Amino acid sequence: DGGITQSPKYLFRKEGQNVTLSCEQNLNHDAMYWYRQDPGQGLRLIYYSQIVNDFQKGDIAEGYSVSREKKESFPLTVTSAQKNPTAFYLCASGGIAGVGDTQYFGPGTRLTVL
């Protein structure tokens, strides 16, 4: 089945630790995205990548880093510099939103800082 997988589903982090969230897609999409979801705030864009080895900051990139070494994979690292990382993280892939392409979402990773 084609789709987007995210792992783990739940992740717990201690203060000062870096953690990496996995996102894999087999939809052969060029573009991939990371969003953060907080209650009552909708989704906010963290980073996106249009092609391998290239990525762009979104609206809330501070404290996060990404890589895009393979078309299928777009891992997100939440660094210790992110002051309030507890949130639901959603990965998406798809085409160009500015021409009406659809973004498809993974099931999400819930990160909790202990």
Q: Which is nearer to other proteins, 72 or 79 (CB)?
A: 72
Site for other proteins in 15-74 (CB under 8 A): 31, 33, 40-45, 48, 50, 58
Between 8 and 107, name the residue whose CB sits nearer to other proteins: 107
Query: What Cα–Cα distance (Å) separates residue 69 from each residue in 43, 49, 53, 83?
Result: 25, 11, 6, 27
CA-closest candidate to residue 107, choices 85, 88, 87: 88
Q: Which is nearer to other proteins, 58 or 63 (CB)?
A: 58
Please report how close the Cβ of residue 12 comes to other proteins at its closest, in angstroms: 16
What are the backbone dihedrals phi and psi of residue 55, each rounded to the nearest 5 degrees, phi first?
A: -155, 160
Distance between CA atoms of 5 and 92, rounded to whole angstroms? 10
In angstroms, what is the C-alpha Rg of the chain? Answer: 13
Q: What's 99's DSSP letter?
A: G
Token pair of 24 as six digits: 């894999």
Which of these ranges, 13-21, 60-68, 70-78, 99-107, lies near other proteins under the rule CB under 8 A? 99-107
Question: Could you say which of 46, 90, 111, 113 contacts other proteins (CB under 8 A)?
Answer: 90
Nearer to other proteins by Cβ, of 63 and 108: the residue is: 108
Q: Which residues bind other proteins (CB under 8 A)?
A: 4, 6, 31, 33, 40-45, 48, 50, 58, 88, 90, 92, 96-100, 102-108, 110
